């Protein structure tokens, strides 16, 4: 299984001037990659990445993006166009080994809880990076995620201003 490298991440970021903070953002991407490696995944198609804008942490993963999003970078073509705030998502139960959404959840208000439950429906694991304090979107506290999950995540790492990285799953 291959994973995103910093060089590929940087090349993708250079395609859009909005990615000014890409070097700082690499921290949560790198952490997410390490968490995925621990899951011993074997097929990129078993990963759904939401809102990756072409910076897939698993090349060849299944991707889902907001239709008409202004963040479509460098000719990137998502596999599925669907607004994550609309339910149900267009996937069968347990379709994916893992659902990944890095700095997406704070943009899903007011349907954050429903989206989380939908991610759990379609994936065995859910990997989320989300701020607890945010000026764009609506923050989510770690206690809220734990309540929605019915308990604490398998892993959580505090990245300060960039928020929390969580791995939820059912073993």
More confident site: 77 or 158: 158
pLDDT number for residue 74: 65
Count the domains in the chain: 1
Residue 1 within any structural domain of the chain = no
Query: Mean of the pLDDT values across residues 134-143?
Result: 83
By CB atoms closer than 10 A (0-12, 13-18, 19+), residue 77 is exposed
pLDDT number for residue 71: 65
| Strand stretches in 11-149, DSSP E | 47-50, 62-65, 80-81, 96-102, 123-130
Residue 81 within any structural domain of the chain = yes
On whether the CB atoms of residues 158 and 164 are closer than 8 A, the answer is yes
Query: Mean of the pLDDT values across residues 23-27?
Result: 93
Q: Which domain holds residue 151?
A: 6-169
Residue 129 within any structural domain of the chain = yes
pLDDT number for residue 156: 97
Query: Which tens digit of pLDDT belongs to each residue from 94-107?
Result: 999 999 999 999 99
CATH number for position 44: 3.40.50.150
Please say if the pLDDT value at position 18 is more than 80.
no
pLDDT number for residue 75: 73
Residue 82 within any structural domain of the chain = yes
Please say if the pLDDT value at position 171 is more than 70.
no
Query: Mean of the pLDDT values across residues 149-164?
Result: 94
On whether the CB atoms of residues 106 and 134 are closer than 8 A, the answer is yes
Residue 27 within any structural domain of the chain = yes
């Amino acid at each position: 299984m291959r994973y995103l490298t910093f060089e590929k991440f940087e090349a993708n970021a250079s395609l859009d001037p909005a990615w000014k903070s890409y070097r700082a953002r690499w921290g949560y991407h790198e952490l997410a990659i390490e968490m995925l490696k621990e899951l011993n995944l074997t097929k990129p198609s078993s990963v759904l990445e939401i809102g990756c804008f072409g910076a897939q942490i698993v090349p060849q993963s299944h991707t889902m993006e907001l239709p008409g999003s202004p963040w479509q970078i460098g000719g990137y073509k998502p596999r599925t166009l669907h607004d994550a705030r609309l339910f149900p998502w267009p996937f069968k139960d347990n379709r994916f080994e893992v659902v990944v959404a890095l700095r997406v959840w704070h943009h899903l208000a007011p349907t954050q809880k429903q989206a989380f439950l939908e991610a759990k429906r379609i994936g065995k694991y859910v990997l989320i990076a989300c701020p607890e304090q945010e000026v764009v979107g609506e923050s989510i506290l770690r206690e809220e995620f734990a309540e929605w999950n019915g308990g604490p995540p398998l892993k959580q790492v505090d990245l300060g201003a960039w928020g929390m990285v969580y791995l939820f799953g059912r073993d």
